[in-house]
Amino acid sequence: EAGVAQSPRYKIIEKRQSVAFWCNPISGHATLYWYQQILGQGPKLLIQFQNNGVVDDSQLPKDRFSAERLKGVDSTLKIQPAKLEDSAVYLCASSSPRSLRDRENTGELFFGEGSRLTVL
Amino acid sequence: AQSVTQLDSHVSVSEGTPVLLRCNYSSSYSPSLFWYVQHPNKGLQLLLKYTSAATLVKGINGFEAEFKKSETSFHLTKPSAHMSDAAEYFCVVSPSGSARQLTFGSGTQLTVLP
């Protein structure tokens, strides 16, 4: 089966410019996540969608970051205006519906290869 | 509240020697624990997971981890390192019963020397 697709893989912009990242999850996966991974750190959750609804966006800097998943399939993460500290890899992940229905937390997320953003 | 501490940011071993990557956790709940691996320019991949069943968990590629509640540890081991094991490894904790709120450690970079 096809994995999680992300684009672009690399993006270089100047501060105060805008950028958008796209993610297409594994077919049939209802849950989609965006993570930010700063160099030398572990991934940090930005936002989680269940179908086209937001489950958790408590860590999303809403003054500059926005994300949508209008049809419950692919998703877009936007940053406007970008700051130097936004330089990071933006990871998209998805998980199957079974992960949420099961009593036990399977915790298996399927990650894309990431979009590396450099802000100059 | 939950957190995870990976005790070594870098580990270097020779090919064929054992691997030990250390992880301590803190959780208010009975946790689920995971190890993910990230090869260069690749997405993260699940290695193994502990979800309150057997305390010794076997994963892919010969890795295993032991959940020790008394020590709040979940160290990752492999008897014999292979060159292809060179990657970054993340220990992850989550409240049991919740598919969200995965908290990642800061990662351990494993180097395998020929």
| Residue A105, pLDDT score | 42
Smallest Cβ–Cβ distance between B49 and the set A41, A107, A114 belongs to: A107
CA distance B103 to chain A (A): 7
Q: Cβ of A100 under 8 Å from any chain B Cβ?
A: yes
pLDDT tens per residue across span B1-45 = 788 999 999 999 999 999 999 999 988 777 889 999 999 888 899
pLDDT tens per residue across span A101-116 = 444 445 678 999 999 9
**Residue B49 corresponds to which tokens in the numbers above?**
């997971």
| Residue A106, pLDDT score | 58
CA distance B34 to chain A (A): 8
| Residue B2, pLDDT score | 82
Chain B: residue nearest A104 by CA? B97
Cβ atoms of A55 and B100 closer than 8 Å = yes
Instruction: With CA atoms as reference, report the closest residue to A98 among A23, A4, A29.
Output: A29
Instruction: With CA atoms as reference, report the closest residue to A11 among A22, A1, A2.
Output: A22
| Residue B6, pLDDT score | 96
| Residue A113, pLDDT score | 94
